[in-house]
Amino acid sequence: MRSRKNKSKTILGGAELDTWGQLPSDLIIQIIGILKYKLHEVRTCLHPINKHWRLVTGALVTKISVKGKIEFPVSYVAHKLNTVYVNVTTLRLAKLPKKQAHHLATLANLTTLQLNRTDTGDQSICELSTLTNLTNLGLASSRVGDVGVKSIGEHISKLKVLNLRGSRITGKGIDPLLQLKNLITLDMGGTKVNDKGARELSSLTSLCQLVLPQHTVGQETRAFLSKHLPPECKIQSR
């Protein structure tokens, strides 16, 4: 689908929203009406609409997943979350273009933010460091490296789940993660984290699941971590 050429409107993918299994059709109507994009596909089952349902639907939405069929600007997503879908705590984006992360920095209610397989880099993560209520952050296969991880460790202390699989973190980026005392799940598979950096994770005594890079962290380090982390912590290599 082609969008209008407008440099002020960086475009994302399509929208799939979950209100107890139903899609709020008023959002789709507004996307079509305001932005005048063609709707190619909505992969959901629409609930029969009436005026009363449409009045309360915004308050019912708790999860929004932006994928690849309906296109609209990042700023539009943020605006709707701040004005209509005020109870949304979970946001998944298929794309987050450069210099657009600041639009999401105002979404203080978010507890889950999934930016897996996006072009999200260190600058974007630094801009999102105001989201201090996050407990689950997905950055798998992103461009986030040691600088971005440093920002996460310094500002988003409530994190319980952090997915850095295939990101650009190295052994030098481990130290800031040690500030995340509530971390339960940490995935660093497919990264360049080395033995020295991985051993530092032994101080994260709240971990229940740890995924280490298979090719840069050896068996001796995994044995060391098994000895120093809680017995219930499951350690894997990928």
Task: Characterise 52 by phi-psi region: left (phi > 0), alpha (psi -120 to 50), beta (else).
Answer: alpha
Q: What is the pLDDT of residue 71?
A: 53
- Name the residue among 149, 211, 209, 143 with its Cα closest to residue 177: 149
Q: Which residues of 149-179 are buried (b: 16+ CB within 10 A; e: fewer)?
A: bbbbbebbeebbbbbbbbbbbbbbbbebbeb
Encode the chain (238 residues) as per-residue pLDDT tens digits. Answer: 444 433 333 333 444 444 433 445 555 445 444 433 333 222 222 333 333 333 344 555 566 776 654 456 778 778 777 776 677 788 888 888 778 899 899 899 899 999 999 889 999 999 999 999 999 999 999 999 999 999 999 999 999 999 999 999 999 999 999 999 999 999 999 999 999 999 999 999 999 999 999 999 999 999 999 999 999 999 999 9
Q: What is the pLDDT of residue 23?
A: 42
* Distance from the first to the final alpha carbon of the chain: 36
Give the C-alpha separation, 108 to 170, whole Å: 29
Q: HSE of 26 in the Cβ direction (CA atoms, 13 Å)?
A: 17
Give the C-alpha separation, 133 to 111, whole Å: 5
Rounded to two decimals, the pTM is 0.77
Q: What is the pLDDT of residue 58?
A: 52
For residue 150, report the phi and psi dihedrals to the nearest 5 degrees: -60, -40
Give the C-alpha separation, 68 to 134, whole Å: 24
For residue 188, report the phi and psi dihedrals to the nearest 5 degrees: -125, 25
The tokens for 228 are 């120093």
Give the C-alpha separation, 220 to 231, whole Å: 17
> Quick check: helix, strand or coil at residue 23?
coil
Helix or strand (DSSP H, E) at 186: strand 185-187
The tokens for 50 are 């009436």
Give the C-alpha separation, 35 to 134, whole Å: 30
β-strand partners of 92: 65, 114
